C-alpha cells in the first residue's frame, strides 16, 4: 500500500473529525499500519468548514500532513469544490449524494446517500458513520473488523449499537459487485461504470 493520504471534509456538526479519528485508530491499532491524524475547523465550530486528514502507510510516515489526497470524502458541496482540485490524478472521490453535486465532467467516483440512510436509522447525526462504512468498503485501506473494533473502544455503550448499525449500513450499501477503485485499492478490480451500485461518472 505504501503511503496513502485521505481527506474527509464537510461542515462542523457532521462528525467529520470523529470519522477521521476512527479511521486512523483502526489502521494504527487494529490493522497493524502506521497512521497520522490531523484536523481543522472553519471560523464556526458548527456549520463552518471542517476537515480531517489521515495518512496511512506500511512504514513510518516521514511527513505527517496531507498535501495531495489520494482519497477525498466530501459530505458537503463546499468541501467538494474546495478540495477536489487538490486530489492526485486518478484518486478516489467519495461523496454524500444527498449533499454534493459533482461537476458534469467529473470522472469516476463513489456515491452513497449517507444522510438519507442515517435518517432511515432514526438519527441524521450518524451519517458520518454511514459514510465511514461505505468508505471502508470501497477504499480497501482498512478491514471492516478493524474499524468496528475502533468504534467499540471509542464510543460510550449507549451510542455503540446505533453507530455500529450505521457503519454496517454504509458498508453493505457498497454492494459486492461495486469493486474498490482499481488504481488505489490493494483489492484491485475493474470499474464497472454507471451501472454498478455506488459508482458514478464516466469510465476510466
Walk along the chain (204 residues) and give the pLDDT tens digit of each residue.
Answer: 589 999 999 988 899 999 999 999 999 999 999 999 998 755 444 556 789 999 999 888 778 889 899 999 999 999 999 999 999 999 999 999 999 999 999 989 999 999 999 999 999 999 999 999 999 999 999 999 999 999 999 999 999 999 999 999 999 999 744 444 444 433 333 333 333 344 554 333
User: Which sequence spans correspond to the domains of the chain?
Assistant: 4-200
Q: Please give the torsion angle defined by the CA atoms of residues 44, 47, 49 and 51, in that order, rounded to the nearest 10 degrees.
A: 110
Instruction: Give the CATH number of domain 4-200; options: 3.40.920.10, 3.40.50.720, 3.90.1300.10, 3.40.50.300.
Output: 3.40.920.10
Check if the beta carbon of residue 30 is closer than 8 Å to that of residue 149. yes
What is the edge-to-edge ordering of all strands in the sheet holding 49-57? 34-41, 49-57, 4-11, 71-74, 92-96, 109-112, 199-200
pLDDT at 195: 36
pLDDT at 46: 55
Check if the beta carbon of residue 75 is closer than 8 Å to that of residue 160. no
pLDDT at 187: 36
pLDDT at 19: 97
Residue whose C-alpha is closest to residue 24's, from 6, 37, 10, 11: 37
Q: How many CB atoms lie within 10 A of CB 8?
A: 31
Amino acid at each position: 500500500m505504501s503511503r496513502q493520504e485521505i481527506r474527509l471534509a464537510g461542515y462542523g456538526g457532521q462528525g467529520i473529525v470523529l470519522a477521521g479519528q476512527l479511521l486512523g485508530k483502526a489502521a494504527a491499532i487494529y490493522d497493524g499500519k502506521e497512521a497520522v491524524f490531523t484536523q481543522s475547523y472553519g471560523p464556526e465550530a458548527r456549520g463552518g468548514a471542517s476537515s480531517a486528514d489521515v495518512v496511512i502507510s506500511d512504514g513510518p510516515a516521514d511527513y505527517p500532513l496531507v498535501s495531495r489526497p489520494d482519497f477525498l470524502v466530501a459530505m458537503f458541496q463546499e468541501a467538494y469544490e474546495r478540495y477536489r482540485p487538490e486530489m492526485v490524478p486518478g484518486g478516489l472521490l467519495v461523496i454524500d449524494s444527498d449533499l454534493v453535486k459533482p461537476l458534469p465532467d467529473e470522472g469516476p467516483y463513489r456515491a452513497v446517500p449517507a444522510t438519507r440512510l442515517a435518517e432511515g436509522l432514526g438519527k441524521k447525526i450518524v451519517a458520518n458513520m454511514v459514510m465511514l462504512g461505505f468508505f471502508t468498503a470501497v477504499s480497501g485501506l482498512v478491514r471492516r473488523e478493524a474499524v468496528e473494533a475502533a468504534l467499540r473502544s471509542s464510543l460510550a455503550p449507549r451510542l455503540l449499537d446505533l453507530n455500529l448499525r450505521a457503519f454496517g449500513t454504509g458498508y453493505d450499501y457498497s454492494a459486492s459487485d461495486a469493486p474498490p477503485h482499481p488504481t488505489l485499492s490493494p483489492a484491485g478490480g475493474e470499474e464497472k461504470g454507471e451501472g454498478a451500485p455506488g459508482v458514478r461518472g464516466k469510465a476510466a
